[in-house]
Amino acid sequence: MNYTLHQLLVFKKVVETGSITKAAEQLHLTQPAVSIQLKNFQDQFDIPLTEVLGRKVQITEFGFEIAELAKNILNQVQEIDSKTMAFKGELIGRLKIAVVSTGKYVMPYFLADFMRLHKSIELNMDVTNKSKVVESLEKNEVDFALLSILPKDLNLEYLDLLDNELYLVGNASSKIGQKNIPEQVINEMPLIFREAGSGTRYAMERFIEGNKIKIQKKMELTSNEAVKQAVLAGLGYSIMPKIGIKNELHLKQLKIIPVKGLPITTKWKLVWLKGKKHMPLPKNYLDFLIKEKETISQSFFSDLI
């Protein structure tokens, strides 16, 4: 057999994505290039690795076993490279992090100094919804994830990075602003929710249920940015993370409406699967955060602390 590391990488990615097209996108290759590498890899085995049923690629049982071995080989190769560079005082490799959508206001600041210190490393940061972040963790596709609400059915370890405070927010022209506003006023507000499964949505629902508030008017939008734009436009009110509306508060385009029981405070957490054996790069990053997280918080988020 004479397969290459590149063929192992291509096959592993096809198995992970279940699609030649998606594998090509993630590897930044053309679809024909992936198909050729897959065929050249398959030609070295007498047992099928894949089957084409309809227009879908199906992985055989043998294919899954080979993919697992390919993954181990590629990890070992990365470790060899990492150890070599470590002896030279450098880190290399790709740091893979999945981030919930509101976390885009947080994670870059906890990465910037580390990336500047280690110019040879690559970053793959996937900003997506909570369900996809949790799925990436479950499949062990990422080194870390950034969440504010931990999933109940995953055994995780985590490092607290920053407080996440959620307030009731309206646009600047809102007439509601007195302290301790009556509960009936909240009931009459058109409230704007994030989509089901969002950490912000979960915190918002717990507050509403805990205070026995009955919502008369309700809207649902699928991103924090969409909710913010809707509130700016005067479509309604929402309970939102302060970190995502700092600029709008500063410009007096939005305002926090004082309500008893708010803010809701959660924690932004860097999480990983319990028992995960980190490669040198993610291990170094975790060590860096443990040492520097307080300094980063004070430098960039002092107005939130």
Question: Span 73-93, mean pLDDT?
Answer: 76
Minimum mean pLDDT range among 62-71, 124-133, 211-220, 286-295: 211-220
What is the model's pLDDT at position 178?
54
pLDDT, tens digit (0-9, with 9 covering 90-100), for 217-237: 788 898 888 999 999 998 889
Minimum mean pLDDT range among 50-64, 139-153, 234-248: 50-64
Question: Span 153-162, mean pLDDT?
Answer: 94
What is the model's pLDDT at position 182?
47
pLDDT, tens digit (0-9, with 9 covering 90-100), for 160-197: 999 999 999 999 887 765 554 545 556 667 889 988 88
Say yes or no to pLDDT of 199 above 80: yes
> Within the chain, what is the greatest distance between any pair of CA atoms?
75
Say yes or no to pLDDT of 111 above 90: yes
- Whether 44 and 2 have beta carbons less than 8 Å apart is answered as yes
Distance CA 289, CA 292 (A): 5
Instruction: Give the global pTM.
Output: 0.70
Question: Can 5-82 and 90-162+267-301 be said to share one CATH topology?
Answer: no
The domain 90-162+267-301 is classified under which CATH number: 3.90.1010.10, 1.10.260.40, 3.40.50.300, 3.40.190.10? 3.40.190.10
CATH T-level fold of 5-82: Arc Repressor Mutant, subunit A (1.10.10)
What are the boundaries of each domain within the chain?
Answer: 5-82, 90-162+267-301, 164-266
Say yes or no to pLDDT of 264 above 80: yes
- Whether 145 and 269 have beta carbons less than 8 Å apart is answered as no
Whether CATH 2.70.70.10 fits 164-266: no
Percent of the chain past pLDDT 70, that is, above it, reads 92
237 DSSP 8-state letter: B
Cis peptide before 151 (omega within 30 of 0): no
Looking up tokens 């939008």 gives 221
